[in-house]
Amino acid sequence: MSFNIAIDGPAGAGKSTIAKKIAAELSFIYVDTGAMYRAMGLLFLRKGIDPKDSAAIEAAALEADVTIGYENGEQQVYLNGENVTASLRNEEVGNMASATSIYPGVRRQLTALQKEMAANQDVVMDGRDIGTAVLPDAQLKIYLTASSHVRAVRRYEELKAKGIEGDLAVIEADIIERDQRDMNREISPLRRAEDAVEVDSSNMTIEEVVETVQRLCKERRGV
Ligand code: DC
């Protein structure tokens, strides 16, 4: 049986940074489920579909074939055969992914792919509903969070490092709006699974969070 680690939490809490490090350390496969919702979001943007038009979104989702591959250990996302990985990490796509992840047709397809990936291999999977809906039997569940202000500052610094001057207040407002949407949708909203360990990274370094997760992992694996 495979050993699965589920990491859920709000946008900007550091899930992917932590999940990647843990996966590399344990030689597990890292699965970024947000990238799958982003690939769907990219398709809807390209088609110019209004995210509130549920019928059009559901119909387009039926035509979408999202698959995952790995190149040099890095996850690649394919949308109808095209590698779209480089087009996924921007606010427009992220907001479209958040707005359209409320629809059953979108979630059904991606959840099935995620479950299949974790069934036969050891994975560290991050997202919003991994511990609650995708991998309810995961051997270790982490709910990684941080205050909206800390998450906004982190994103602001990330942008600055790329030479982009962001507006901290706008970034924080955007993060709060995304949290509201992800936590209040009807199907599989973001919430901490009852058996998840909550880690608040607001006042922790990346190394401290990684150490905490590693310790929990050793306990669960009995090594
Ligand atoms: O983690 P991210 O920012 O790449 O995710 C983008 C959006 O996708 C997020 O705002 C909500 C949605 N999502 C989801 O509904 N369920 C997941 N397991 C992962 C992401």
- What are the residue boundaries of the structural domains of the chain, listed by start? 1-28+122-215, 31-121
Q: How much is the pTM?
A: 0.95
- With bands split at pLDDT 50, 70 and 90, how would you rate the model's confidence at 91? confident
What is the average pLDDT value for the chain, to the nearest integer?
95
Q: What is the CATH number of domain 31-121?
A: 3.40.50.300
223 pLDDT above the threshold of 80: no
113 pLDDT above the threshold of 80: yes
195 pLDDT above the threshold of 80: yes
Using the mean position of ligand 1's atoms as its centre, give its distance from the Cα of residue 127 in Å. 6
Token pair 């979108």 in the structure block, residue: 106
> Please, what CATH class does the domain formed by 1-28+122-215 belong to?
alpha beta
Per-residue confidence (pLDDT) for residue 222, from 0 to 100: 81
Mutate to test the pocket of ligand 1, among 7, 33, 37, 75 (most ligand atoms within 8 A of CB): 37
CA separation, residue 53 to residues 50, 57, 105, 179, 222 (Å): 5, 6, 13, 21, 49
* pLDDT per position as a tens digit, 173-189: 999 999 999 999 999 99
The answer to whether the 1-28+122-215 and 31-121 domains have the same CATH topology is yes
